[in-house]
Amino acid sequence: MSHLLPVPDAMIGQRFDMAVSKMMGLSRSKAARLIETGQVRVLGRILDKSGTLLAEDMVEFDLADERKGPEPLAEGMPVVYEDEDLVVVDKPVGVAAHASVGWAGPTVLGSLLRRGVSISSLGAAGRQGIVSRLDVGTSGLMLVCKSDLAYKEMRRQFSEHEVIKIYHALVQGNLTEDKATIEAPIGRAKVSDFRFTITPAGKEAITHWDVVHRYGSATLTSVRLETGRTHQIRVHFSSIGHPLVGDHMYGANPVLAEQLGLTRQWLHAMRLEFRHPRTHIWTTVSSHYPPDLQTALDRLDLEERSRPQA
């Protein structure tokens, strides 16, 4: 399958492998391998992985479909809002936003298309209609655009930080404040293509949080993202010494996760608020905790009730 795309404005002047990594949602090392094997190239000139992309460049993707069969359907993915312009799903853990090299599991986009949902054709190949993503390991609300009008307007709202995105996160330990803001730039960690870190060379990242409930060994928080960097909530809480429970990549205690029955980070996209692209009516869509996250809270509640009163 071959696709030809112009270089996005934000990636003009960047290294080729870095741009491909961002365009395809891959690690930088995987992007470099695709360039080295000729599966991704610049049309009309030879450019190695460290070369710089120019404004007039066209990037050609020639990727074989690695699946041995059709993409599996995300059976347990409810649609919580839908009209002629938008569809909002409650994405389960283990479902990717869209297809990418090396991922053989279900995707939000693929499952919607297989269900017969009409999606806007705008956007990068394989990511059409998508203006904001959730990681495979994060559950919760994700918006996809059905009409071109919605894609253009919702992309603008997300890029200008007009959409209110509320997450609930269970963090390790007892936070000392009831509410605070973490403002620290985030960039890719040098030690790994998959991890991100606080770095002066990173992009601006702002996270606001409020305490919902204190359990002693953990604190349930409501988080509002002002920016949307990769792994932002996970990196920011880890940077203040309170990684998300179950988030071993960013320093969480595996013993606590095991006690709570968690096999992933406790993080859920709980609420989306936005101005409807066609009617301009302020719209709110809400979710609820999936079973694994609720079970973890139930165990903390039980532990809290059984604790001797001072």
User: Which of 62, 83, 135, 292 is labelled catalytic?
Assistant: 135
Q: How far apart are CA 191 and CA 127, in angstroms?
A: 28
- Residues linked to residue 288 through DSSP beta bridges, in sequence order: none
CB crowding 159-190: b at 16 or more within 10 Å, else e = eeeebebbbbbbbbbebeeeeeebebbbbbbe
**What contacts 308, CB < 8 A, 6 or more positions away?**
none
- How many beta carbons lie within 10 A of that of residue 259, not counting itself? 15
Nearest CA-CA partner of 259 in 245, 249, 238, 243: 245
Is 135 catalytic? The answer is: yes
| 8 Å CB contact between 186 and 229 | yes
With the C-alpha atoms ordered 147, 153, 157, 159, is the resulting torsion angle positive or negative?
A: positive
Pair of tokens at residue 151: 């894609």
Residue 243 C-alpha from the chain's centroid: 17
Helices (H) and strands (E) in the chain, counts: 7, 14
Q: What is the DSSP code (8-state) at residue 71?
A: P
- How many beta carbons lie within 10 A of that of residue 297, not counting itself? 18
Q: How far apart are CA 266 and CA 220, in angstroms?
A: 9
The residues that are catalytic are 135
